[in-house]
Structure 1
Amino acid sequence: MESGLFCDDWTGKEELQLLEAIDEYGYGNWAPISTQVGKTLEECQDHYNNCYMFNPHPVLPAIPLRPEVCRVVKSDSHARGESESNDPVPVYYPGTEISGFMPRRGDFAVEPDNGAESIVANLSPDSDDDDMLMKAFNLASIKIYCSRLKQRAARKSLVREYGLLDIKKQIAIDKTRLTKSQLRLKMVARPFMRFMSPQSAAKFLISHYMEDELHQQIKKLKCYRENGITTLKGADLYEKLLTRRRQQECEQRECVRGVRSEETFLYQVLQHGSMKIKKPAVKESKPLDITFSAGVELLEEDEKELCSSTRIQPMPYLQYKKTVLAEYEKHSRLTLAECRKLLKIDVNKTRKIFNLFVSRGWIVHIS
């Protein structure tokens, strides 16, 4: 422990003291850290940044693994579908963790910070007791893992407390209750809401909404003053006349649009020589990219194509599949009309899902 581990100026004991001090006081609080280690502030900061933070090569010693542990880790990686190459980890788009919430389990299909277990996955519990450095390293890794578990639990409780599990419902509520400026304020204030309780966050947003309303009222009063209006009665008359003018402008635009459509219709009749005019083709929606969506690994190829073409996420599709198959198993029969009543989604999407189940032999079609 008295010899230098990474450099001659720092012994192994001082390295452990530095790591324990940073774990206790936090990164950046170099004054109490240097006092506990017994080095100057600049020495502690430069050594930690150069050896631990910004060093492109790993400086910590490799942990020896027994052959049976290597086989277990390798088989577990294959079971999770992880490749041995150094390809970048696929990025999960925002909202996949929330959309993967399973109410019956009360948990998420994809955990926040899903790779936290990799810190302790390769620890060897049978290390030599005399090797104090390896023992301290194992303890530090367990502490880091525990802190990441606390952050995971805090994120879950945040989602539950603020009622963010149903994204569509939350978006619909925001659209009906809030104006565009208030929605913009809520998006800006969202990073700060994680540090507040639900009640404090609601008061914080309401105060900003009131401030935004005051700004809008002041802007409207300035508009009245620019138009020479000095009384509330005159302001009411101005608003009525302004509304009437806008209605008249809309009616004029509709009339012009109608006249132009009539001219287009007559021109097409003269061109084609009949009253049968072809309807414009309906533009098909763009297929949905579900490559990194939660639950995509549970689907077959034809199911992936169905979800992509109908723009249905894999997790809702799996729920529809479970509901339909359970209903079919219960009654031993199921029609397309009954399937539509059961799912309560777009009729075209229901028909495509029903046809896929029939083609796969999961249900028998009864007309």
Structure 2
Amino acid sequence: MSFSDLYAKYNCNYCQEEINGIRIRCAECIDFDICLQCFSLGAEIGSHKNDHSYQFMDSGAFGIFLGRNSWSANEEVRLLDAIEQFGFGNWEDIAKHIETRTPEEAKDEYITRYLEGCIGRATWGTVESTSRPSLHCADRDEGPLGPSAVSRLPPLAITADEATQLGYMSNRDDFEREHDHEAEQLISALSLNSEDDELDVALKLSQVDIYTRRLRERTRRKRLVRDYQLVSSFFNNQRNKQRTLGKLAKEKKEFTERLRWTAQFYGRAEQAGVVAGLWRERELRVRLAELHRYRLAGVTRLEECAHYEQHAAQRKHPHAHLLHVRPRPLQWVPGHQSDKRANADQHAAAKKKRRRKRLKFHQPKVHTGRKYRMWMLQKELMQQQQRRMLEASADQ
């Protein structure tokens, strides 16, 4: 049974009388209900037959609380709905909404069941009676900007001059201009009137809900600024703006900047751990690729890597010593040639290579094209013709 069935009224499809208690619903016909009296007599009408499948339905006539004069479930729900709609104490309108109870009965039922009964004790708890008003009511404020949401934020580590530039008021722990500074204008002109209908009230409540979400977003941004110390980082970057970074530090900084969007899902320590882990993974991948390159080149020991890099640099820049281009610094390995001997061997190899190219250029060309084959055929035919002429002259 749905919540709307408690407010629905049903009439018998056969005798047209209102059904206040249990009714019979046909499981084969669409929207067909009959009372118990008509069902017991086997009433049939239209396409409905008395041998159809059926089920018992109750629209809230059963009682929730035990007792002789207990209210039905329908009446209890109507009572709670009227209290929420008209407010506590407006018993005349509440009784009109229930339709079956007087104002005195509605008042007694609500106070007995929901204030002084077991539901009231479990819901409201024990109320301490005191004539002195409580002075700590603000500590229980858990709104979007309540103490529990802001008090645990770390303080801003900035100087007085920097606080003045930001418009930060340390005593109030607030800024002169917050994020979404015009959020309060959304509800500044709101007011509840007695003439407002349900649509107007719903619209105003939606505006309050939007305002609450904007306040939560403001608090979330403030927490991120505090947790990551973005203000201190900003002023430190301004002071160290002229400092130049190395290639590795620059790459790591760019890598960290690309992962900055994940800071909204982690705290400061967790974010630092995630970035450090991903950077370590990147370094290991680069190192594995480098070792794989060494293995493909036939290098099987780590002490041979420096010698391999030295020869690779010589092959890539054979005239580096002539152009005063200093190759990448390499680690000295015992047992290898010195730099002077290596430069001499490099110069001799370059000279030998230039001489080999010059000799190769002056070698006779070998052609294998169609014109060359035709020329060779004509040459052979002329030689055969000359031999025949010489043989003929010798016979004469």
Report which of the two structures shows the higher radius of gyration computed on alpha carbons.
2
Which structure features the higher share of helix residues? 1
By relative contact order (CA 8 Å, sep 6+), the higher-ranking structure is 1
**TM-score, normalized by length of structure 1?**
0.35
